[in-house]
A and B are shown apart, each in its own frame.
Chain A
Amino acid sequence: DVKVTQSSRYLVKRTGEKVFLECVQDMDHENMFWYRQDPGLGLRLIYFSYDVKMKEKGDIPEGYSVSREKKERFSLILESASTNQTSMYLCASSLDGATNEKLFFGSGTQLSVL
């Protein structure tokens, strides 16, 4: 069974804290993605990675950074959390960049920044 695992289901942090969201996939996929999901806005791409140590900005990268030191792990970092980063964060992976390649998603992390 394919699996994308996000380290936390729920997370509560304080404004200004540095936050790490971890994601691990066991499918030897090349590509990994971080999305945030907000009501009425759907899923918006924050960052993605198409290879180890390679990353590209998505549509809303401001306030975030990422790290991919190993193929199976992709971390999202909030350098200084703010209340407008309260959201559901979804990690996903795909085998490669083929047009028909679907994404496999983790179960999400609901982050609340107080």
Chain B
Amino acid sequence: AQKITQTQPGMFVQEKEAVTLDCTYDTSDPSYGLFWYKQPSSGEMIFLIYQGSYDQQNATEGRYSLNFQKARKSANLVISASQLGDSAMYFCAMRENFRYKLIFGSGTRLLVRP
């Protein structure tokens, strides 16, 4: 069965530094997709980045990059040059191929210190 694990309930980072949020997953399907979402205190869920299991290169979107290590089944989110507005909950999620549903991890709360 598919499963997403985020082992860091909370993290701090200094403004302008880089931070890595961990995500490991479990699936027996060779084809799947991995997502990261951000949830600020306002509650809205904001899509950040996507990585397909067959993508050869790590996904990047602006200051966000996904460190995809397929053999280790990890999909860590890297935020470069942290900003105060990056303080939020971050969720890792996965969808197996031909499945409708997205399965989420328990989330990591990131606090950016000035």
Contact = CB atoms under 8 A, between A and B. Distances in A.
B104 interface: yes
Interface string B17-29: 0000000000000
A59 B105 CA distance: 13
A75 B99 CA distance: 21
A102 B106 contact: no
Contacts of B103: 45, 59
B45 interface: yes
A102 B98 contact: no
In this complex, the member of A43, A99, A101, A105 whose beta carbon has the largest number of chain B beta carbons within 10 angstroms is: A99
Contact of A99 (B6, B45, B95, B105): B95
Contacts, number: 62
A90 B105 CA distance: 15
Contacts of B35: 102
A61 interface: no
Given A42-B107, A45-B103, A107 B52 contact: no
Q: Dominant SS at the A interface?
A: strand
Nearest to B1: A59
A90 B44 CA distance: 9
Nearest to A41: B106
A97 B45 contact: no
Interface string A92-113: 1010010111111101100000
A103 B102 contact: yes
A40 B99 contact: no
B43 A88 contact: yes
15 contacts: A33-B100, A40-B9, A40-B106, A42-B4, A42-B91, A45-B102, A48-B101, A56-B100, A88-B43, A90-B45, A97-B99, A99-B31, A105-B45, A107-B44, A108-B43
